[in-house]
Structures are given as C-alpha cells and as structure tokens.
C-alpha cells in the first residue's frame, strides 16, 4: 500500500530518472497519468478535476503520436524510394502545327515503390473522395502513423473531359490524377524522368509550350501567398533570375508550361507543410 501511494504523488511526475531508457520513462509517465485518474475517481474528486486529468492524458498521447509521426517521416525520407516517369502522353497545340509530349509517373508505380518503405516506418495512406455541388471532384490523401497522428492533402478538379472520354471515364481520369498528386504531396516524393520543360516533339522542331490555365494560376498564387514566397522575376536576356519565377525559369505565372506545373505544385505544397510544422513546433515551445 505504501508503494502504491508513492507512485501517485504529483512529485513523482516531475522527477525523471535520467538513467532509465526512454521507452521506460514514457511508459512510466503514461502509467502515472492513468494512476492519477484512477486515484481521483477513488478519492471522489470533483468531475472537473477528473476531466482535466483525462484531457492531460489525451494531450500527452497526441504529442507522443505527433513526435513519432515526424520521426517516422524522417526515416522514410532516408529510404531510397525511386519513382520513374515511365509513361508518355501529349496533346496537339490548339493553334496547330505542333505537339507537346511529356512523361509522367503512373499512380500504381508510385504506390508500389513507396508502400514498402512507408510500412517499414509504420506509415500507411488512404484516399477520401467527394463530389461537390459545382461538379468538382475532391480527393484527400491521408498519411497516417500507427500511433494515430496523420496529415492530409486535398485537391479538387472537374472531370477530365479531354479526348473522347465518356462521363465515367472522365471522372475516373480526374480521380486517378488527383490521387497521384495528393499521394506525392503527402509523402514528399518526386518522380524522376525525362521532362523537356514543355518543349514538344513536332518533327524535330522546338514547339511553343502549352501553358497552364487560369485555374492553375490561381492555385499557384494561393500557395505563394500561403508560403510568403517572393514572386521575383525571370529575364535571362538581362541576367535576371530572382524569387519564385527565377526558380521555375518562367517570365510570369501565366507562362508556366503544363509540364512544369506538377513539380512546382509539389514543391510549394511541401514548403507549406514544412512551415506549418515549424509553426506548430513554435507554439508547442511557447
């Protein structure tokens, strides 16, 4: 009885034996919180007091799960996960006289390459689909750790009606594309391949690249605002290469080639997630 009373005294929570292994210390701290809750119930403490202890336990577990998640992500990023852009597609220029072709990674190839390393570090992924009232399809990829912490990336688009797709094929094409983009964003992976920066293969001639549309320009602008990124300027003739435009080597946002969009989007999304993580750490320290 004497030993049990000593283990539930508050002073035991503030002192940690530095000689104990980390796992043992964490287990002891968790057990101490549970013992305090049990003691409070047995001592007929006010319900508000018990609720505060239970909230403390949830907060403690959430912090441990969050730390475990980021530790697992660091380990995952150290794995040699290689995703190759094996597929080639393209489109004819609307003005005629040329065609733009580019390579891209297949969703199945990306998942197959990443899942073994994700599983090794206790990570798993899943997607949620939602059809919005405006006809857009919203896909959310959630990357979860076995201890409970997760992060989510969402992206939406209209059904892909290009070519001669029927309505079902248009939806499937958009879903597959969104699943691939959100998966790459949550895992922080990037594919390797032979991109030609938007230059086509029209009979051996360099063709005018196809640029992103207004909708994608808005997405990039929003990410630039969210990450406080400097727009900068790009003018190679005068030796100017600054900020974001200098990074992507584009004179303006409206002149970003479609073949560069995915890489640029993932880069900005990764920067956004990193800044959010830093803000969360700063708030925790405060």
- pTM given for the model: 0.53
Q: According to the model, what pLDDT value does residue 116 have?
A: 93
Q: According to the model, what pLDDT value does residue 234 have?
A: 83
> What is d(CA 236, CA 248) in angstroms, rounded to the nearest whole number?
12
Nearest to 180 by CA among 197, 155, 210: 155
- DSSP classification of residue 96: S
Q: What are the distances in angstroms from CA 88 to CA 159, 213, 281? A: 21, 21, 42
Render the burial of 12-34: b for 16+ CB within 10 Å, e for the rest. Answer: eeeeeeeeeeeeeeeeeeeebbe
| pLDDT string in tens for the chain (286-residue length) | 444 444 444 434 333 344 333 334 344 555 566 677 677 677 777 777 767 777 777 888 888 889 999 899 889 988 878 887 776 666 555 555 566 566 667 788 889 889 999 999 999 999 999 988 888 899 999 999 999 999 888 888 888 887 778 889 889 988 988 898 889 888 888 766 534 443 333 333 344 567 888 888 899 999 999 888 888 888 777 778 888 888 888 888 988 888 788 778 877 887 787 778 777 777 776 6
Q: According to the model, what pLDDT value does residue 10 have?
A: 42
Q: Are 210 and 93 in contact (CB under 8 A)?
A: yes
Q: According to the model, what pLDDT value does residue 259 have?
A: 75
Q: According to the model, what pLDDT value does residue 15 have?
A: 33
Q: What are the distances in angstroms from CA 143 to CA 48, 73, 129, 210? A: 35, 10, 15, 33
Q: Are 36 and 54 in contact (CB under 8 A)?
A: no
Q: Are 30 and 60 in contact (CB under 8 A)?
A: yes
Q: Are 152 and 276 in contact (CB under 8 A)?
A: no
Q: Which long-range contacts (CB under 8 A, 24 or more apart) does 40-48 make?
A: none
Residues 6 or more apart in contact with residue 236 via CB below 8 angstroms: 249
Q: According to the model, what pLDDT value does residue 126 have?
A: 94
Pairing of strands 240-242, 233-235: antiparallel
């Amino acid at each position: 009885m004497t030993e049990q009373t000593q283990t539930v005294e508050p002073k035991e929570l503030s002192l940690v034996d530095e000689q104990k292994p980390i796992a043992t210390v964490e287990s002891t701290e968790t057990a101490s919180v549970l013992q305090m809750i049990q003691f409070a119930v047995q001592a007929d403490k006010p319900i508000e007091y018990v609720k505060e202890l239970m909230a403390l336990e949830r907060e403690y577990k959430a912090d441990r799960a969050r730390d475990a998640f980021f530790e697992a992500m660091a380990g995952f990023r150290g794995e040699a996960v290689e995703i190759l852009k094996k597929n080639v597609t393209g489109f004819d220029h609307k003005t005629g006289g040329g065609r733009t072709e580019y390579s891209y990674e297949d969703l199945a190839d990306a998942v197959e390459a990443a899942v073994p390393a994700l599983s090794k570090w206790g990570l798993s992924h899943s997607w949620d689909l939602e059809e919005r009232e405006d006809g857009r399809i919203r896909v959310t990829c959630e990357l979860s750790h076995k201890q409970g912490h997760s992060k989510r990336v969402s992206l939406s688009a209209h059904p892909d009606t290009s070519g001669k797709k029927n309505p079902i094929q248009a939806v499937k094409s958009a879903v597959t594309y969104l699943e691939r983009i959100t998966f790459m964003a949550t895992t922080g992976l990037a594919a390797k391949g032979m991109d030609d920066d938007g230059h086509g293969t029209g009979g051996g001639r360099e063709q005018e690249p196809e640029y992103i549309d207004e909708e994608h320009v808005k997405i990039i602008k929003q990410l630039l605002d969210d990450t406080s990124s400097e727009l900068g300027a790009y003018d190679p003739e005068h030796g100017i290469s600054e900020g974001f435009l200098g990074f992507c080597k584009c004179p303006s946002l409206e002149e970003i080639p479609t073949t560069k969009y995915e890489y640029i989007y993932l880069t900005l999304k990764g920067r956004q997630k990193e800044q959010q993580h830093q803000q969360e750490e700063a708030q925790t320290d405060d």
